[in-house]
Structure 1
Amino acid sequence: MALSKPSPTLYVSNLETKTKKPELKASLYSLFTPYGQVIDIVAKKNGGGRGQAFIVFAEQAGATAALRALSGGLFYNKELSISYAKAPSNATLSRQDPSLSREKAAIEAAKLVVSNAQGEYEQLEKEREADEAVLRGEKREAIDEDGESTGRDAKRLKGNEQENEEDEEEMELDDEDEDDQPSLICSNLPPECNEDIMSALFSQYTGFSSVSSFTASIPKSHPKSNTGSRSFLIKFDSVEGLKKAESETKGYLMQPGWEMSVSQK
């Protein structure tokens, strides 16, 4: 156990290798979070990273407290080997220098994609307007010559309108299907809890689809949440997986004093 070079990131080895990665990360979070705010957990289930994980704390004191309290303890019936990590984690670097944040890089990349898409959209709009101008000119010519629009133009315009209406109806149906997707509302989660942690917890259940922050009113059936708590919406593709997840995670303790409330939306 190397104490000479303290770090907010702990290197944990001799972990059980048969446990699924989402369950392993959720269990590690529950084990280490009582000693301080855990901002990231990196665990691999293949290659040279089997049986190893990195626990990233927001503060050095939390990492030190966890190292001293948990070193040599049993975790899944195996003795934990814990030491300070030799290099700072990406999560730590991003807190020290926001320009190094992976999230910021992803946001900048997304902005570039949106910008390019906006340019393509504007170009398509110009081309569409030009085509409509040509079509209006052809219609005027046909009216000047014959006194009325040709049946072919009328049918084409009517057909375009019908296709647009069908597309709008299909989009509305898609929206309705998405709204009807089976979901769980989870409340009273610690402020440091995020989508990655919730995804790790619920991805072990069949039919898990996605997780997002929930900002609407919490159901009255939920007990009063702690101050500063967060809520999440967990979506499933199947009711069977949802019901099992609801049954097994209701009352789950992310950390002492934070009992998670779970109900169907």
Structure 2
Amino acid sequence: MTDTLPATGAELLDVHRIHLAEVEAPKPSPEDEAARDRIWDEAVRANPHLFDGPVTGCAGLERHGGPQDGDLTVSWARLTFRHRALRRVPGNTDWLPSLFVSVIQPVDDGSLLAGRMASWTASPGRWLLPGGGVEPPAPGAALDQAALAREAARELVEEVGVELDPPQPRLWGITRGGNGSLGVVHLAPPRSAEELRARFDALASAERAEGREPELDRIAFVRSLAELTEVAGELGGRPVDYLTPVLRRRQEETADRRGA
């Protein structure tokens, strides 16, 4: 049996295997394309760092078998970043939510690492897990579960300065935000807070020495949404919605390990 999973707000889906199927991107009407481009041009004028690079959009999510099978198919399409401006075009139905990867980087004390997006990024001030949008593969190359794990490992290096060995973090789950954006979450091995802070500080210093600002301007180690909300209140910004089910599940896992 195959059933389509409706979006119900920020949620976490259990998954054991992911199958990815490429589909054609929707074609907006000429009027919607023109409106999209106007909105995009306005956004670029406000933030010249925005780049209309290649991204993938999530065109559908299906579960195969029973609810506990954890076997999912994600349909995806090749887009560019300006596609996201379609969300602001009234009446448009061609917008596809984003497909991204993220990494839970645990800390030895049971917390996890969250980072705040810098002011020059597309999501300034948002607290989230290390990660980023999935780039479409080159023609002839596969977008599969292993490719997503490699992308997640690359994002962890680029944003936090942590390299994984082997560079294949374990698949942990799929998040779906209130706007339908799909996040493939991976789990890295735990490290000490001191090591993570040192690696992030070294990365940020190296970026600034090259005349660039790092993508994350702050990091924090938190155990719960309440802790993250407190950190955001002190430092500024706000958490992305998918962190709510992620932090809740991590608390449950920690409690289970202590009770075992």
Taking structure 2 as the reference length, what is the TM-score of the superposition? 0.23
Structure (1/2) with the larger strand percentage: 2
Taking structure 1 as the reference length, what is the TM-score of the superposition? 0.23
Over alpha carbons, which structure has the higher Rg?
A: 1
